[in-house]
Structure 1
Amino acid sequence: MIPEEMKLANQLCFSVYNANRLFIQFYQKALKPFDLTYTQYIVLLALWEQDHQNLHDLGAKLDFGSNTLTPLLRRLETAGWLVRLQPAADRRQLVVELTDKGKASQGPIFEAIKACVGQDQLDVSQYKEALKINDALIADLKTAVG
């Protein structure tokens, strides 16, 4: 007999997995008209917060390794969302910045996401509390995995 706390429905990891899967589906629906994936969207979010970032800082902010970030940036650049530049002062660096398309699309993308949010979503205080708990969980897990 399996202990109650070890049952699938009582596993936090399973709950987080399902929430993650549903978040990605939610964002896919909102981002489909822009031909963006969820991971491409979060790259754009990081650049909307601070444009003109070097590759290393952008990867650190997103917690993406270069093997994940480089193909994402290549696809976003090909689609006209951003450019990757090598500054003349230091050719070893790579700087990522938004194109006019990337800058101008922020408002319409945010509006599309807001339009997908129904009336039965978390209120602001629940959202902030869930984010706080999730941030603490991430910090604890990062410590645990080293």
Structure 2
Amino acid sequence: MTFSKEHSAGFVANHMARLFAHGLARRIAPLGLAPAQFMVLLELWQEDGLTQHDLVTRLDVEQATMSNTLRRMERDGLIVRRAHDHDRRARRICLTDKARALQAAAIRAAQDQNETALASLSDAERAHLMALMHKVVGAMRRNWGD
């Protein structure tokens, strides 16, 4: 079999991710959010006060990318940086009231995007797809250095 994009898991996953991101971007733009900001907010809505290092690790992004995203979020009034209780070098990233107020609408937008994307799948197919994607992500994280 010759290599083609239709048979490349990487190509298909990347294509699907771009389409998801584009759809999400359209849905959260009226809230003043970008997809990268939304991903950070999801982590902070779950656990406010994480460090930049925590966010880099949890979201598997480059330090410079996270730094730029957090700078924009701070400029937009979504986060503030506070001193860390136990590490004078680290800063905690904390949500503002503005960011907390966006949570319900932003999550609803993401749920709508997911529903649109997965509409042609049965509940069992959705569960299977999610399980397989998590399995692949886990394998890639374990082999990150390869």
TM-score (norm 1): 0.84
CA distance in 1 between partners of 2:121 and 2:77 (Å): 34
Counterpart secondary structure, 2:107? helix
CA distance in 2 between partners of 1:129 and 1:96 (Å): 35
1:13–1:112 CA distance, 2 compared to 1 (3 A): closer
CA distance in 2 between partners of 1:115 and 1:136 (Å): 24
Residue 53 of structure 1 pairs with residue 14 of structure 2: no
2:119 maps to which residue? Answer: 120
1:133 maps to which residue? Answer: 132
- Select which of 94, 98, 101 maps to 1:97: 94
Cα deviations by residue, 1:90-130 (Å, 9 ceiling, x for unpaired):
43111001000111110121223344443825444333321
Cα deviations by residue, 1:116-146 (Å, 9 ceiling, x for unpaired):
4438254443333212211211222334442
1:112–1:141 CA distance, 2 compared to 1 (3 A): closer
2:61 maps to which residue? Answer: 64
Counterpart secondary structure, 1:92? coil
Counterpart secondary structure, 1:97? strand
User: Which structure has the higher relative contact order (CA within 8 Å, separation 6+)?
Assistant: 2
CA distance in 1 between partners of 2:135 and 2:85 (Å): 41
In structure 1, give the amino acid aligned to 2:32. Answer: D
2:70 maps to which residue? Answer: 73
Unmatched runs of 5 consecutive residues or more in structure 1: none
1:124–1:95 CA distance, 2 compared to 1 (3 A): farther
1:25–1:121 CA distance, 2 compared to 1 (3 A): farther
The alignment-based identity, stated in percent, is 27
- Select which of 103, 107, 132 maps to 1:106: 103
Unmatched runs of 5 consecutive residues or more in structure 2: none
